[in-house]
Structure 1
Amino acid sequence: MEKVNQTFFLSHGSPTLSIDDTLEARQFFKSWSQKVLPQKPKSILVISAHWDTKYPSVNTVLRNSTIHDFYGFPDPMYKLKYEAPGAIELGKRVKELLMGEGGMKRVDEDTKRGLDHGAWVPLMLMYPEADIPVCELSVQSKQNGSYHYNMGKALAPLKDEGVLIIGSGSATHNLRKLDRSITNGVSVPWALEFDHWLRDSLLQGRFESLNLFFAA
């Protein structure tokens, strides 16, 4: 079996990424299979910031529906569909790893849920043929960073099984803290400070700092 050996964290940006060709990120995602990952994965696991549950959940469906979980956007966006095949076997494998290596006592399977915009917006640009099976895994925002870091460690074997693992969200992703009165594009200090710390930690290979943060 061919290995992917890559895990990516992607900022899916605004849902308008799905239709606005002027956005630079849109061009990046459209060039994905040519410039970033020419190897076609066997299946895709997406951990989206837009699926938050008390216990880890995976969607195990035959075919993914398209969830339009946003409001007040242009009408054409609500007609977009990305109906990639489901990845039931991958979902069950994720559950096995989380309850085994991850030591979790409960992982749920959702047999009805499709893909939220944190998953289908980037994927429709990266893999427009929608022919790769996709499974989505939820996050638990009431848990700390260490909890999710350990989830990632438990799922690492998937990289050797031809699975592309994608984290989708943003370095800071809390719309409740969004200050809509700011019109000049200036970031709020706490978000900018964290962005700079995260960037420097990653670029300088300061994994000990990252581990300390996640354990905090």
Structure 2
Amino acid sequence: MFPDTVAHWWRTMPDDVRRAYSRRASEYVALLGAVADMDPLDASLITRWGTGVVGPILDAGCGPGHWTDHLREQGCEVRGIDLVPEFIARARERFPHASFDEGDLLASSFRDSSFGGVLAWYSLIHMQPGTRRSALEEIARILRPSGALLVGAFLGVQDAALDHAVSPALLCSEQGLASQLESAGFQVDAIHTRSPDGRRPHLAVLAHLL
């Protein structure tokens, strides 16, 4: 069974970021709200990762819920959490068999070692470096020993500003994100990068809790 429901999840995301996503939720869902809209390499990576996790998975910052439902369809025990009410409402409408909650990471009431895996797919990109460190430390707290983490982010100079379409964001470098993960108690298992035609360079890091 899943851990106890948390009242809030992403306090780390400023209110202006939440409002920005709320205003553009319908547009976001239409453009990026389905696995079919994603790069097949991402779908393959997330599927392999998720089906290898032992125990429940938290999709942290699940947005409109497509990855949560995708993992559910693969047989994973998974729930999605996001700060944006409009995303959660749409996720529940579109994927009624999946589990979704509003929430806030640093105000989490999840018990220690609650999850076997956490997916943080482009959900840390709006956080300042100190807040991101705190988020990774909280993820480490709620993961079981040897629990798995998969992070997706925009690749570039560490913590350089990015003019994101919805709200300002920060880039991550391979070494920069790896160092933050290691400082939070993780061991990096693999790093994937690519530069798709016409799209921003992409970074994915797989790690496990020591």
- Name the TM-score, length of structure 1 as normaliser: 0.33
Larger Rg: 1 or 2? 1
Q: Which has the higher contact order (CA 8 A, sep 6+)?
A: 1
